[in-house]
Amino acid sequence: MNPLQRYLPLVDDEEAFLEACDRPLPYSVRVNTIKTTVDRATEALDDEGVGYEQTDWNPEILRLTEGKAGTTWPYFHGWLHGQEEVSALPAIALDPQPGETVWDTCAAPGSKSTQLSALMDDEGFVVANDNSLGRLSALRHNAERLGVTNVAVTNKDARNFSLKPFDFDQFDRTLVDAPCSCEGTCRKNPDALEKWTMDHVHSVVGIQKGIIRRAIQATRPGGTVVYSTCTFAPEENEAIVNHALETEDCEVVEFDTPLETSPGITEWEDEEYHPSVEKTHRVYPHQNDTGGFFCAKLRVGGVAESEEGEA
């Protein structure tokens, strides 16, 4: 069975959804503002004869329409980084500020970690963790090429991550871009559908639950945790957020996104989820001509000192 058939009841236009999933994914790059500006990067692409379009929702994301950026000098010098358009959403939702401490739980190959650093003006501290030793070389390479200096790379299982090596005991913000069944990547990786099984979905659910719980525990009261996947499966999306609400002190918060999205669902098969999971965002390929995605924003329980002072 094509797993996409499972999700037809969730989409507003079944035909458009299936047609979009069959089309190749547009190639996009992110302008690395640690090293350059959008204007300088686009001028460099003009000089190199590479065609592009700025996305409506984020001027730092460029869709390439002609030529390849990976062989150009601005890419080599770290002005540009290949990143799927919709995958830029979690870092924007997390909204890290310069000077904060931020944890990227599943960081390799580094697209989101380096985006977090850019949003922080390369100030503060980003812990870019991944449990796959083989993927850390790509993470380090990308951080070096992009000129990131506020990142520390760690190789730990995020489910039992320890802060003992650091001189702080909680993060301000944490990103959980969780390992998943990857159905939403089918436009660039058709094998994701061919290899899909429910057994795989069930196997990653336990990992996702462990990571999101540790992320909440490691984030200060009043801090933010963003949970994201590139799958359509509610078992890996709303069900994981629901599990976090049941087991940890946190709440789902609304956040604006300039992308067209659909709200999270509160019922799936025989399961019901907390009403607040409607505040999460589902991104289907036909809505913005991107890959598929899910993104949720959580506030960790308790009130931060700055919020107490404002009350």
| 295 catalytically annotated | no
Task: Specify burial of residue 80 (Cβ count, 10 A radius: 0-12, 13-18, 19+).
Answer: buried
Convert 188-203 to b/e letters by CB count within 10 Å (16 or more is b).
Answer: ebeebbeebeeeebee
What distance, in Å, lies between the first and last C-alpha atoms of the chain?
54
Place of tokens 């890419």: 75
44 known ligand binder: no
Name the maximum alpha-carbon separation found in the chain: 57
Q: Which of 29, 39, 31, 42 is nearest to 85 (CA)?
A: 29
186 known ligand binder: no
95 known ligand binder: no
Give me the catalytic one of 21, 180, 182, 230: 230
**56 three-state secondary structure:** coil
182 known ligand binder: no
CA distance 183 to 37: 34
Task: Specify burial of residue 176 (Cβ count, 10 A radius: 0-12, 13-18, 19+).
Answer: buried
244 token code pair: 């976090």
195 known ligand binder: no
Angle, to 10 degrees, between the axis of helix 111-119 and the axis of helix 136-145? 30
Q: Which residues contact 222 (CB under 8 A, 6 or more apart)?
A: 299, 300, 302, 303, 304, 305, 306, 307
Over its C-alpha atoms, the chain yields an Rg (Å, rounded) of 19
110 known ligand binder: yes
108 known ligand binder: yes
309 known ligand binder: no
Q: Which residues contact 175 (CB under 8 A, 6 or more apart)?
A: 90, 91, 94, 102, 103, 104, 105, 112, 116, 225, 226, 228
264 known ligand binder: no
Helix (H) or strand (E) holding 204: helix 198-217
109 known ligand binder: yes
Binding-site residues for S-adenosyl-L-methionine:
106-112, 130, 157, 177
Q: Which residues are catalytic?
A: 230
Binding-site residues:
106-112, 130, 157, 177
